[in-house]
Amino acid sequence: MQVENYKIDEVNNTGISKHQRQFESVAEDIADVEAVLKKLSSFNIAIPSWALGTGGTRFGRFSGGGEPRSLEEKIEDVGVIHALNQSSNSISLHIPWDIPENAAAVKELAAQYGLHFDAVNSNTFQDQSGQKHSYKFGSLHHTDKAVRKQAIEHNIEVIKYGIQLNSKALSVWLSDGSNFPGQLNFRNAFQNTLESLQEIYAALPDDWKVWVEYKPYEPNFYSTTIGDWGQSYLLASKLGPKAATLVDLGHHLQGTNIEQIVSLLLMENKLAGFHFNDSKYGDDDLTVGSINPYQLFLIFNELVEGMDARGMDHATGLGWMIDASHNVKDPIEDLLQSVQAIKIAYAQALIIDKTALKAAQYNNDVALAQEILQQAYRTDVRPLVAEASLSNGGALDPVGAYRKLKIREHLISERGLKTVATGL
Ligand code: AOS
Ligand code: ZN
Ligand code: ZN
Ligand code: ZN
């Protein structure tokens, strides 16, 4: 299905006068509101192909109905999201969950919805049917060279799919690790990982990047070979300029200062980008901004500050992507909420009085520095986000419009109630 513009306009019209009042009231106090709107309008977050169905947990999965049954239907769903929020113009594929059998046709379909393909993700954390060697004890770090070779070849194959789709990055997340002390020789595991990644790196086209994701635990519970940003950074540094560290917000132990990690990686030109989500306990993959929106704002503060300092274009400099899993919500609503939360945090970071903050930091005026940050954080910037969406032809309130237009009901009538999305 295509969400026609006139339908979005119709829904917008019902809320337009309230929006205008609210927008004028917040815009009045912002120094250069046009610049803020321009940045918000050109900001896009990639949608992962595996997030369009209900993920469930190892205890069960409760399908919501009308889930995409094929890559084509996943593209359709991202098209719905993008039509509503005008901020999700790309999709990130996971191989082999979503193999583009006919890349030209898939690209063409995506283009009809104004979409292109973001990073491609490899998968060496599961065994696929017909595969010669098992990944039970790891992949790129494995003690057996034959297993490593198989995993390297898979990654190179993923790059080949990506080339056909015009992707520009390979995203690698390894579950390689150990469950018990003594199981693994850490140095050998790390060295094997590095050497395997070097072979993959050598297969990257000139204009490609490899993003190295880290995670402290799960599925392994004693050690993970790329367990934190230090280990990822070390690999990325040894690999070379095309390699960088990917930050999944859920991949940190409780209390970790993620914004500081982001700031330093960005400074070193080693920040690949993000897997946005939120969490209370671990890699919960909850809706962005649902648990700790202040942390998200602080991350965006570092991003805006650091990118401006480096003269980087906010819209294109990094890999902006969601990594989420939905157990009880409609995946499309959840993704719409996540993108809104990201845009809100970004808008808040854009309106920080940076000159005043710099001066307060220089003068060690701690209370004032906090006041300045929280002044921005406590401003209701939702009308700015809505205005940016409106100016691009999107909805004032994407979730509200999705419900008013009865899109899920429509998808259920097209696809059926008992559909299960391909993937996890
Ligand atoms: C796993 O915890 C990671 O977040 C990866 O990004 C993974 O590839 C993705 O979540 C799909 O399972
Ligand atoms: Zn992730
Ligand atoms: Zn994760
Ligand atoms: Zn996650």
Q: Is 211 in the pocket of ligand 1 (CB under 6 A)?
A: no
- For 12, list phi and psi in degrees, rounded to 5: -60, -40
157 Cα: distance to centroid of ligand 3 (angstroms) = 23
Is 276 near ligand 1, meaning CB less than 6 Å away?
Answer: no
pTM for this model (two decimals): 0.97
β 319-322/271-276 pair status: parallel
Q: What is the mean pLDDT of the chain?
A: 97
Kindly report the protein residue whose alpha carbon is nearest to atom 3 of ligand 1.
173
Question: Which single residue is written with the structure tokens 């919501």?
Answer: 64
What pLDDT sits at residue 386? 98
CA 152 – CA 101 distance, rounded (Å): 21
Q: Compute the distance from residue 275 Cα to the ligand 2 centre, in Å.
A: 5
Residue 414's pLDDT band (cuts 50, 70, 90):
very high
Per-residue pLDDT tens digits for 310-362: 999 999 989 999 999 988 999 999 999 999 999 999 999 999 999 999 999 99
Supply the pLDDT for residue 58: 83
Q: Which of 49, 172, 187 is nearest to 118 (CA)?
A: 49
Our answer on whether the CB atom of 121 is closer than 6 Å to any ligand 1 atom is: yes
pLDDT class for 16, splitting at 50, 70, 90? Answer: very high
Judge whether 275 and 323 are in contact, CB under 8 Å. yes
Cis preceding linkage at 398, omega within 30: no
Q: What is the pLDDT of residue 423?
A: 60
Ligand 2 center to 7 CA (angstroms): 34
Task: For 375-388, write each residue's pLDDT tens digit.
Answer: 999 999 999 999 99
| CB 11 within 8 Å of CB 402 | no
What are the beta bridge partners of residue 212? 172, 245
Question: What is the 3-state secondary structure of 155-213?
Answer: HHHHHHHHHHHCCCEEEECCCCEECCCCCCCHHHHHHHHHHHHHHHHHCCCCCCEEEEE
**pLDDT, tens digit, for every residue of 29-84?**
999 999 999 999 999 999 999 999 988 888 888 888 999 999 999 999 999 999 99
Element (H, E) at 93: strand 90-94
Query: Lowest-pLDDT range, 34-38, 81-85, 172-176, 413-417?
Result: 413-417
More confident residue, 61 or 178: 178
**Which ligand lies nearest to the CA atom of residue 286 in the structure?**
4
- Report whether residue 277 contacts ligand 1, using a CB cutoff of 6 Å: no
pLDDT confidence tier of residue 424, bands split at 50, 70 and 90: low
The answer, yes or no, to whether residue 419 has pLDDT greater than 90, is no
**Helix 71-85 and helix 5-27, axial crossing angle in degrees, nearest 10:** 40
- Which ligand has an atom closest to residue 55 CA? 1
Taking 60 as the threshold, does the pLDDT of residue 128 lie above it? yes
Can you count the helices (H) and strands (E) in the chain? 15, 10
94 pairs with which residues across the strands? Answer: 121
* Interval 269-277 mean pLDDT: 98
Q: How far is CA 252 from the centre of its chain?
A: 16
Judge if the beta carbon of residue 252 lies within 6 A of ligand 1.
no
- Residue owning the nearest CA to atom 5 of ligand 1: 173
Ligand 1 in contact with 382 (CB < 6 A)?
Answer: no
Q: Which helix (H) or strand (E) holds 117?
A: strand 116-121
Ligand 1 pocket check for 215: Cβ under 6 Å: yes
pLDDT tens digit sequence for 392-410: 999 999 999 999 999 999 9
Write down the residue that tokens 């995993």 correspond to.
Answer: 151
pLDDT at 211: 98
Share of the chain above pLDDT 90, in %: 94
93: confidence class by pLDDT, cuts 50, 70, 90: very high
Overall average pLDDT of the 129-136 stretch: 97
pLDDT given for residue 422 in this prediction: 61
Over residues 2-20, the mean pLDDT reads 97
